Amino acid sequence: MRKAAVRILPISMTLGLAGALALGCGGSQGSRTGTAGTPGTAGTTGSAGTTGSGGGAAPYTCTPASTLDCTGSGLITYALADGTITSFSMQEWSNTAGKFCNATGLRGAIYGYNDGHAAVDGGGVSSNSQNVDTTGNRVLSLNWDAEAAGWAGGGLSFDSCVNASAFTALQFTATVTAGSLANCQFQVGLATQDERPTTQMSPPGGTCDPNGSSSCYRYPTVMNLADPGASVMTYTLPFSSFMMSTPQSSVPPQNQLVGIQWQVNDAAPSTDGGAQMPCVVTVAIDDVKFVKM
């Protein structure tokens, strides 16, 4: 499969954005016994037993904080030696727990959301679902139907706050496995503690007051990502290219990360007065990590 790469250069701009969040196998030793020789002739020798497959590496273990603490002992600070968030490997992802846990000690879950709007002008209602596909390349499969003027999204929520300031960019791969991004605007956001509502649990620790003067979920975002199509495309996005909300936080987003989320917005009609077509697509996300450019 052809693999493409996208690198976005840093930009400096601010924009008020309304986000949405719904926020191995052990081996066995085989054996096989030869059959006895026929009368009057020497018995034939049985073939050697086959060797069982080796057991996979043990799953990682994580001890997350009870709350999203971005300044105290609950903070996970990433070192340059390993910027992996997850590749959904057997060591990291557990279907039973519905969680990933990596070598750094970060545990998290997958989630999804949509606009929640009623149907517009006879259109449908936006929907979403998500799962980790463990049958092939082990990817996060995000299934989206964003109807007229709507959106749908999903991502990774962290059970501990993360400081990734040793790195300068977020990297991941994306592939369209069904449908099309032709009627969509594709984006990625950095979920931060200061834009996560105080009312959101599992875990608690957000510091945005949903009853305050400004709305929550205004996560720093890179919009209008290139369409990967059916090929695997690698995106490398500097933290400085994520558009910040206004007013800007005094804490850089990479110092207070509580998740990563991807989203599609239903695009406007291509012609004035034209019908607004829904955005129906499945995107596979993999190899999510922090990198230094």
Tens-place pLDDT, residues 153-196: 999 999 999 999 999 999 999 999 999 999 999 999 999 999 99
Tens-place pLDDT, residues 52-74: 444 579 999 999 889 999 999 99
Q: Give residues with Cβ within 8 angstroms of 30, minimum separation 6.
A: 49, 50, 51, 52
Lowest mean pLDDT among 24-33, 168-177, 226-235, 247-256: 24-33
User: What is the residue type of 32?
Assistant: R
Cβ atoms 263, 189 nearer than 8 A: yes
* Exposed/middle/buried for residue 164 (C-beta within 10 Å: 0-12, 13-18, 19+): buried
User: For the chain, first and last CA: distance in Å?
Assistant: 25
- The alpha carbon dihedral of 171, 177, 182, 186 has a sign of negative
pLDDT at position 30: 36
The shares of helix, strand and coil residues in the chain, as percent rounded to the nearest 5, are 5, 35, 60
- The alpha carbon dihedral of 248, 253, 257, 263 has a sign of positive
pLDDT at position 18: 38
